[in-house]
Structure 1
Amino acid sequence: MVRLPLSPSEVERGQRLGALLRRARGERSMLDVALDAGVSPETLRKIESGRVATPSFPTIAAIADVLGLSLDAVWSEIDGSARPVARKRLAS
């Protein structure tokens, strides 16, 4: 199977994903998070560093679950086209 080159937007999204996961991991060790998520520490390291810009959905879902992140939160953080949603103020 031939993999097509990633677009610049996919690379940027992968970098945002990696930064989000590093922040969410905080002081927890990469080894502990990876093992709890059922992925290899090398896979988590590559995702966090942006070297794997398009990880599989089950991998991201497992890591997000271990880190206490909702998939909606992950997507809204990494999707470059997302715009903040204005909240309506309730009348008092």
Structure 2
Amino acid sequence: MVRVPLTEAERARGERLGAVLREARGGRSMVEVAAEAGISVETLRKIETGRIPTPAFFTVVAVADAVGLPLEALRGAVPTG
């Protein structure tokens, strides 16, 4: 399967999502947050660095819950268009 290259807007959106989640994680370790969210540390690292610009909705919910970030806060922080 050939993956279609990301647009600049998709790349920027992924980086913004990652930055918001990383900021919400604060001083907690990636290991701790990933374990609480039920994902691998590598997946969390990729999300936080924008390498997974469109993570699955349930993954975003799990990470947001693990860092105590209401989904409503993501709505305004990460542009959708």
State the TM-score, normalizing by the size of structure 2: 0.91
Amino acid at match of 1:24: A
Q: Does 1:56 align with 2:47?
A: no
> Which structure has more helix as a fraction of its residues?
2
State the TM-score, normalizing by the size of structure 1: 0.81
Q: For this pair of structures, how many residues does the alignment match?
A: 81
Q: Which has the higher contact order (CA 8 A, sep 6+)?
A: 2
Matches within 5 A, 1:9-88: 9-79=9-79
Structure 1: state its 5+ residue gaps: 82-92
1:56-92: CA deviations, max 9, x gaps? 10100100011111112112101166xxxxxxxxxxx
1:32-66: CA deviations, max 9, x gaps? 00000000000000111111111110100100011
Moved more, 71-80 or 34-43: 71-80
Secondary structure of the 2:15 match is: helix
Q: Equivalents in 2 of 1:75, 1:11: separation in Å? A: 17
Structure 2: state its 5+ residue gaps: none
Pair member with larger Rg: 1
Moved over 6 A (4+): none
